[in-house]
Every structure is written in C-alpha cells, then in structure tokens.
Amino acid sequence: MQQRPSFESLFRLSPNAYVLLDRDLVILDANAAYLTLTGRKLTDIQGQRLHEAFAADPLSPEMTRVQELLDSFARVLSRKAVDTLPVIRYSIARQTPLGPVYEDRYWSATHTPILDEQGEVVAILQHTSDITELQAMKDSLSQAAAGRQPLQQLEQGVMSRARLLQSEGEQLRRLFAQAPGFVCFLRGPDHVYELVNDAYRQVTGHRQLLGKTVREGLPEIEGQALIGLLDEVYRTGQPYVGKRVSLFLRRHPDKEPQEAILDFVLQPIVENDGGVIGIFVQGQDVTEQQRNEAELQRYRDQLEELVRERTLALQQSEAERQVAEQALQQAQRLEAVGKLTGGIAHDFNNMLQIIGGNLQLLRRGLGSDQTAARRLDSAVSGVEKGARLASQLLAFASRQPLLPRQVHLPELLEQMHELLNGALGSAVQLELEVLGEPWPVFADVGNLQSVVLNLASNARDAMAGSGRVVLRLENRQLGEDAPGNSRGDYVLLSVIDEGGGMSDDVRARAFEPFFTTKQDSNASGLGLSMVYGFVKQSGGFVTLESGERGGTAVHVHLPRCVDDGQRQGAGGDLSAGPAKAVAGDPQPDDVVENPAADDASLKILFVEDDPTLRMLTGEVMMELGHQVVASETAEEALEALGQQPFDVLLTDVGLAGMSGIDLAREASARHPRLSLVIASGYAVNASDVGLDRLRTMLKPYDIHQVRELLDGIRAERAALRN
C-alpha cells in the first residue's frame, strides 16, 4: 500500500499559513507559507510570544487588535475547542532600509487546540489568511453603492477572490483525503457523515456513508460503546481520546463483523457561541499492530518462561557441580594426605624398628642391673606407643591389616549395647533404630566395633556429655546420582547426635589426621581419620551432614555382602599379623636342596635401603644362626641372585628405584623356589600383587617375630624336602 505523507510534511508543504504555539502562546514552529505571508524568518520569531513577535504599532495602537486575538486564544484554552476570528484588524511591521514600517492588514484566523491523551490542550495551531483584499473589496462595494466605482470592476475582483478561495478549498480536501490515519466529520446530534477519507472507508468496509447517520451507515455498532461516546462528546463538548478500543465492524458484506482495534480522538467542533455543531474524528487502525504485539508478548512470555526454567536448571546444575567439586576436592585432599601419611608411617616404622631392635639387643646383655632394666622398659613402652600411632596413621591411609568376615550389624550393635552404655555414661540416652532387615556386610569386626565406639564417643562429647544419640541401620541402593563410583547396595550406619553441629569449615577438615576441636582434652585428632580409612579400605565411604534435630549425623556406608565368592574377591588374604605368613605353602616340585651349610640355617638375601636398619636386622638374623647377604637396592639384589643361590628373599616394600613388590615379582619369575617375604608397615595382599607365595612381616617387628618367621620358613622347606 502506498505510504501516506506524515502530518509534519503536510504542515511544511501546505500552501496555507500555519503557526504552532504552546499554551503560553510561544511560537514553536511555522511553515513556509506563514513566514512568506508575514515576511519573517523562523529564527526571528521562534521562542517569542505571538503578540510580542508581532507587536502593536506604538503610534497607531488602534490598528492592532491584540486583545481580540488574546481573547480568542483564551476561549480555545478554556473550551478546548476550535475558535475562529473571521476578521481581525492587525497591523504588522515590515523592515525597510529606513526602519520598520507598519502596514494596516486584515486577517481571518482559525485557532485549533492540540490535545494530549488526557484531553488537555498542549498546543494551538493557528491557520491565518490575509483578507486585506477582501476587506478592500467590501469597502469598494460600499463605495460602489455610493456611485463611486464601476460595478464590472467589482465583479471581476469578487470572481478572482472566489477562485482563490475555491483553490484553497480543493487543497484542504486533498489534505483531508491524504491524511495519515482515518478521518471523518460528523455533523449534528445524529452524527451525520459530511466528510470521510479513504482510510476511514477502508476501516468501515468501503461503504457509502456521506449523508447518513452513524447508526444508518454502520448498523452493526448498535449496542457498542462508540454511539455512547459520540453522544457524550456532543453533549458535553469535551474531547475523548480512545486507546485500543475494540469495535466489531463488517468489513465485508458477506461476512460477520470482525474485531477492529482502534486508537482515535473525538474532537468536538464548537462555534463562537459555545455550541457544538459536530465532531471531528481522527484515528489509526492498530488491529494488526495489536495482534503483532500480542503475538510478540506471547513469544516473550514463552521465552521468559524458558529462560526461567533454564536458569533454575543451571542454578541447580551449578549447585550440584559445586557440591560434587567440593566432594571431589575433599576426596583428593584426603587421598593426598593419606598417601603422605602412609609414607610418614612407613618411615616412622623404620625408625621405631631401629630403636626397638637396638633396645632388644641391649636387653640381652643387660644382666642384673634393675635400674637400667626399668629405663629400658620405659623406652620399649615409648616404642610400642609409637607403633600404635603408626598403626592409626596406616588406618587412615587404608593400609592397616584386616581380618574381614561376614557381619550382621544389628547383632553386632546389640552385643555392644552394654559396652556403649558404659562408655557413654548414664546422662546419654542411646537409641538403636533398625529399619527393615539390613543386609550383612563384609568387614573386620574389631575395627568395626572401634568405629561404632569412636563415633558414639564423639557424639557424646558434641553434646557436652548429655543428650540423645541414635544408631540407625537401613539398606540403601545408590544409583546413577551416587557420588563418585559408589553405585550399588550398601548398609547405612548412621550415628546422630543433638549437639551444636559442625560448621562448614570443620566439616571440610573433619577427616584430616590430627585435626580436632577438643582443645581442652588429650584428643589425638585421629578418631574420624581412622573411621574414614577403615571404611574406605572396606569398600565403603563416610559422609557428614546436619542431624534431624540439629547436631551432626555421620553416615557410614558399608557395601552389602552377597556371597562367599564376593567376600573372597573383596577381602582377599588380609589376615596377616606381625611376622606371620600370608600365602599358601610352596608346591612339592618347588623344593630343592637347601643352599645353606646345614638344616638349622637359611641363606637370606636381605634388601633394605636404610643403612642402620639394614645393619641391625642383618645382625639379628645372623645372631639367630642364618647366613645374610645385605643389599641396598633391588638392582643389587637381582645381581646377587644371579651370582649365588638363596633360600629367602626378605625385602622392604619401599625401595629407591625398583620397589620391593617389583623385586619380588622379578625374583619369583627367575627363581620359582625362592621364599619371598615383604617387610611393610601394612599388610600386602598376595593375590592383589600376583604373588601367591608372598609373606608379609609387619613393621615394627622384634627379634621374636623374626625368629618365628624364619623358623616357619625353615620348617616348611624341611618338610617339603622330606
């Protein structure tokens, strides 16, 4: 559809003179016709009040009817309706080289109010016509009547002026027809169509409307709001501004009325006497715009809903990611601390081994000196305490020797009930809750009892010695949302207290060795560390959270024990105690002649990278009557094995370069009849390392344990030889 010109372009290009004023009669704008008519430049008059820009002639003030002009503007502001001055005498100044010269002029002016959406006047549009010539013609007619001018000359003047007025009327009608938006003029109280433009015809279905009332031309609007609005505007003389007004109009003769959404202004046309003669209607059909806005709003609402859903999903995902990341960081930190702790415990065991071995050798030559014996006993006691500490550190590192078997936790807790009551005291109420029928688990009973006692004691301390502690058992099946690789069936042991709970910082460090909040006690800070290490070594995991009534809940997840085959695979041979063999007996076809000098001694290749421990243990074994060849590294040991036969390879698990496990594998492959022993601070599972004949001697060991180990190996070899 051809684009219609804007109101501004109509204003600028109109051959009629227009000036735009604000409520204070300050000139806002004027078109070229007005500037030509008045002989002014826009920059000369813009920003001035109209009657100041065209000031009265101070010498002949009667030639400038300023008050008449101001009265017309006052009527426009008060009535909010058009006011017309058919004739007003108003002289204006013309600039000449000799200065301003006032010309006596007659004007015809129409003042139209410009209303805002609330119907208030925000500006006034003045249409001005210079009728000085018409006034002169009127005077000429008067003179002709007196016989002073020929009638033919007057007739020609009238016809010329009439043709000019007709041309101006045609211009107005063209502007009316081409105005943007729909326009019509309704006359009288019945609202008879006198003028309609093409846009109005398009809105109403291209019907013949001129000369008809609104009810006759648009019968379908009977009962709708428009008729009442027109009647109200005509009756009160107050304009009406309608926004997004819904009307049902028959745009096609053979179709039902369709909804049209319209913005419009109903402007009453008021005569000088204040009477309303009609209504000027101007507006826009915004039906398509309304539909587009509604569709856009629907899409916007859908998009906002999608954004909200996605934001919630991202927030939830981010929260889950942060929780998982924190759990992973804590697990990695504890794993690193566990490795460090295991290494420290290994070195600590080596030092204890040196101290304990020397103390044992000193005891053999002590004699009857009782004072020295007491001092020696005190030193041995310190070694034993150090050994227990090393054992606790190895428990956290998940390297302690275990004796796992099938355990029914309800029975175990019932058996411990009296022990727990005595340990917790009468001020603590102990409750056991068994939900359903918990599955059996596969764990070391002694360590499991220590876990329960340790957690119950912590719960008591958290409640300052009094309160309620709940031990709860239930089965749990963890699926895809389980932390880490912990999917599967578990028995959940929960220890719940009513204490003050843990802060986030304390919860994050609770499993770290030597971390404790019991500042006024002799707590070692290894209780929860041992729990963590034991449960992890047993195939489970531990979590901490807030309790049901405040306090803390410690959740111990132990994997379900299904059958004997599973227990064999899960536990393996972890039953090695200090200086005890953990593997099967050598096969008969592995037996050869003893390379030692006699049946009472063994030829031992001892590998230890600590020179003091290497010397001390070597001396102990030689005092026991065995032949010992000491090596510092695995590479030296392999070279020695290639040069001469040995009965036993006794190696430390941690060596510089090739480890003791790798050395045992290599030696077993080269010398299948060789007896293999690993000295370690923790039990080594023979099946895990692929060495069925491997024995473990736990550190720190004493001379009696070394004697028992070597006597056992010697007896086995002798029996097989016979």
List of residues 6+ apart from 450 with CB closer than 8 A: 530, 534
Confidence of residue 393 (pLDDT cuts 50, 70, 90): low
Angle at 659 between CA 653 and CA 665, to 5 degrees: 95
**Surface-to-core class of residue 307, CB atoms within 10 Å of its CB (0-12 exposed, 13-18 middle, 19+ buried):** exposed
pLDDT(590) > 50: no
Q: Residue length, the chain?
A: 722
pLDDT(126) > 80: yes
Q: 10 Å Cβ neighbour count for 54?
A: 19
Which of the two residues, 359 and 275, has the higher pLDDT score? Answer: 275
Q: Which of 17-21, 372-376, 609-613, 669-673 has the highest mean pLDDT?
A: 17-21
pLDDT(354) > 80: no
Which of the two residues, 177 and 14, has the higher pLDDT score? Answer: 14
Count each helix (H run) and each strand (E run) in the chain, helices first: 22, 24
In this structure, of 268-272, 288-292, 420-424, the range with the lowest mean pLDDT score is 420-424
Tokens of 672: 């299948």
pLDDT(418) > 50: yes
Query: In the prediction, which pLDDT does 324 show?
Result: 63
**Mean pLDDT to the nearest integer, 39-57:** 89
Query: In the prediction, which pLDDT does 596 show?
Result: 43
CATH superfamily of 7-130: PAS domain (3.30.450.20)
Task: Give the residue among 128, 47, 111, 126 at the shortest CA–CA distance from 77.
Answer: 111
Query: In the prediction, which pLDDT does 241 show?
Result: 93
Tokens of 552: 């803390």
Percent of the chain predicted with pLDDT > 90: 18
pLDDT(61) > 80: no
Identical fold at 7-130 and 182-285? Answer: yes
User: What is the arrangement of strands in the sheet containing 276-285, beginning at the earlier edge strand?
Assistant: 192-196, 182-187, 276-285, 258-270, 240-249
C-alpha pair distances (Å), 11 with each of 30, 54, 109, 370: 9, 22, 16, 127
**Mean pLDDT to the nearest integer, 526-546:** 79
pLDDT(528) > 70: yes
What is residue 25's three-state secondary structure?
Answer: coil
What is residue 281's three-state secondary structure?
Answer: strand
**Mean pLDDT to the nearest integer, 470-480:** 87
Query: In the prediction, which pLDDT does 338 show?
Result: 55
Tell me: the pLDDT tens digits for 63-97?
A: 778 888 888 898 899 888 899 888 888 888 887 77
* CA separation for the pair 699, 354 (Å, rounded): 11
**Surface-to-core class of residue 279, CB atoms within 10 Å of its CB (0-12 exposed, 13-18 middle, 19+ buried):** buried
546-551 contacts: CB < 8 A, separation 24 or more?
A: 546/501, 547/496, 547/497, 547/498, 547/501, 548/496, 549/498, 550/498, 550/499, 550/500, 550/501, 551/459, 551/462, 551/463, 551/496, 551/497, 551/498, 551/499, 551/500, 551/501
pLDDT(588) > 50: no
Query: In the prediction, which pLDDT does 146 show?
Result: 55
pLDDT(399) > 70: no
Tell me: the pLDDT tens digits for 560-584?
A: 987 654 444 444 333 333 333 333 3
Which of the two residues, 461 and 509, has the higher pLDDT score? Answer: 461
Query: In the prediction, which pLDDT does 689 show?
Result: 72
pTM higher than 0.75 for the full model? no
Q: Residue 196 in contact with residue 206, Cβ under 8 Å?
A: no
Percent of the chain predicted with pLDDT > 70: 75
List of residues 6+ apart from 242 with CB closer than 8 A: 229, 262, 263, 264, 265, 266, 283
Confidence of residue 421 (pLDDT cuts 50, 70, 90): confident
Confidence of residue 310 (pLDDT cuts 50, 70, 90): confident
657: left (phi over 0), alpha (psi -120 to 50) or beta: left
pLDDT(60) > 80: no
CATH superfamily of 182-285: PAS domain (3.30.450.20)
pLDDT(486) > 90: no
Query: In the prediction, which pLDDT does 652 show?
Result: 87
Confidence of residue 616 (pLDDT cuts 50, 70, 90): confident
In this structure, of 34-48, 282-296, 626-640, 681-695, the range with the lowest mean pLDDT score is 681-695
pLDDT(527) > 80: no
| Average pLDDT over the chain, rounded to an integer | 78
Q: Which of 330-334, 613-617, 660-664, 696-700 has the highest mean pLDDT?
A: 660-664
pLDDT(394) > 60: no
C-alpha pair distances (Å), 580 with each of 116, 291, 702: 103, 89, 13
For the chain, give every domain's residue range. Answer: 7-130, 182-285, 300-395, 404-571, 588-721
Q: Residue 195 in contact with residue 177, Cβ under 8 Å?
A: no
Taking the domain 588-721, which CATH number applies? Answer: 3.40.50.2300
Confidence of residue 522 (pLDDT cuts 50, 70, 90): low
Q: Are strands 99-103 and 106-115 parallel, antiparallel or unpaired?
A: unpaired
Query: In the prediction, which pLDDT does 576 show?
Result: 36
Residue type, 532: Y
* CA separation for the pair 671, 45 (Å, rounded): 119
Residue type, 290: Q
pLDDT(555) > 80: yes
CATH number, domain 404-571, options 3.30.565.10, 3.90.1560.10, 3.40.50.620, 2.60.120.10? 3.30.565.10
Query: In the prediction, which pLDDT does 591 show?
Result: 33
Q: Are strands 276-285 and 182-187 parallel, antiparallel or unpaired?
A: antiparallel
* CA separation for the pair 236, 279 (Å, rounded): 12
Confidence of residue 271 (pLDDT cuts 50, 70, 90): confident
- DSSP 8-state secondary structure symbol assigned to residue 604: E
Query: In the prediction, which pLDDT does 497 show?
Result: 86
pLDDT(594) > 70: no
Which of the two residues, 189 and 587, has the higher pLDDT score? Answer: 189
Task: Give the residue among 339, 359, 337 at the shortest CA–CA distance from 700.
Answer: 359
* CA separation for the pair 413, 555 (Å, rounded): 16
Query: In the prediction, which pLDDT does 579 show?
Result: 37
* CA separation for the pair 179, 367 (Å, rounded): 130
pLDDT(305) > 70: yes
